Chain A
Amino acid sequence: DSGVTQTPKHLITATGQRVTLRCSPRSGDLSVYWYQQSLDQGLQFLIQYYNGEERAKGNILERFSAQQFPDLHSELNLSSLELGDSALYFCASSTRTGRDTGELFFGEGSRLTVL
């Protein structure tokens, strides 16, 4: 158990819909990262937050948005969903040192299926 909690674990929805994925980082970790993993692929970095502020942006689509709340939990919003958005979405958190050493702690992921 990494200490990072993600909900929901599974989500099935239709094209055009909107979903929200939730993440609670490890206690004490200020950084939260969102990644997308398509079938048999590596992880694509979407966005990072640090203590409530956006720190870095990756290949995140304009249809996607995220935020980190004062209690440090984070939400990833995916809208106007397309079939190609079906993937595993991982949240990860890190300490300040972990950010520098590439040591991230991942949640179990949210598997999104768009039909």
Chain B
Amino acid sequence: GQSLEQPSEVTAVEGAIVQINCTYQTSGFYGLSWYQQHDGGAPTFLSYNALDGLEETGRFSSFLSRSDSYGYLLLQELQMKDSASYFCAVRGVDSNYQLIWGAGTKLIIKP
């Protein structure tokens, strides 16, 4: 079957760097996506990794290691508006190529 694990909650200070990890188990891996969701809001796509390595988009970066079935989202220069839940999601053969989502990591940012 498929499963994803990510920490339920992470706390960081404004201006700092934080890393949110995601480990997954799936067959026929096609890619790892990251989404941001503010309380009561819609999920918003952040990044996608299909190959090993680091993808950078502004203050956000995402990393993938397919051999370790592991990825992370790195947020730099944290701002209060980054307080949200962050979800990793994988697409695989097991899920008929649909996204399977982790339970989300709530990022709390303190001033």
Asked whether, in the complex, the Cβ of B98 is within 8 Å of the Cβ of A45, the reply is yes
Question: Which of the residues B30, B41, B96, B101 comes within 8 Å of A42, measured between beta carbons?
Answer: B101
Range, interface on chain A: 20 to 34
A-B CB contact pairs (8 Å), 21 listed: A2-B44, A33-B98, A40-B104, A42-B103, A43-B43, A43-B87, A43-B99, A45-B95, A56-B98, A90-B42, A90-B43, A100-B31, A101-B50, A102-B31, A102-B32, A102-B91, A102-B99, A103-B45, A106-B44, A107-B42, A108-B41
Range, interface on chain B: 20 to 34
State in angstroms the CA–CA spacing of A2 and B91 once bound together. 22
Asked whether, in the complex, the Cβ of A102 is within 8 Å of the Cβ of B42, the reply is no
Chain A residues with CB under 8 A of B30: 100
State in angstroms the CA–CA spacing of A61 and B95 once bound together. 17
Asked whether, in the complex, the Cβ of B42 is within 8 Å of the Cβ of A48, the reply is no
Asked whether, in the complex, the Cβ of B98 is within 8 Å of the Cβ of A104, the reply is no
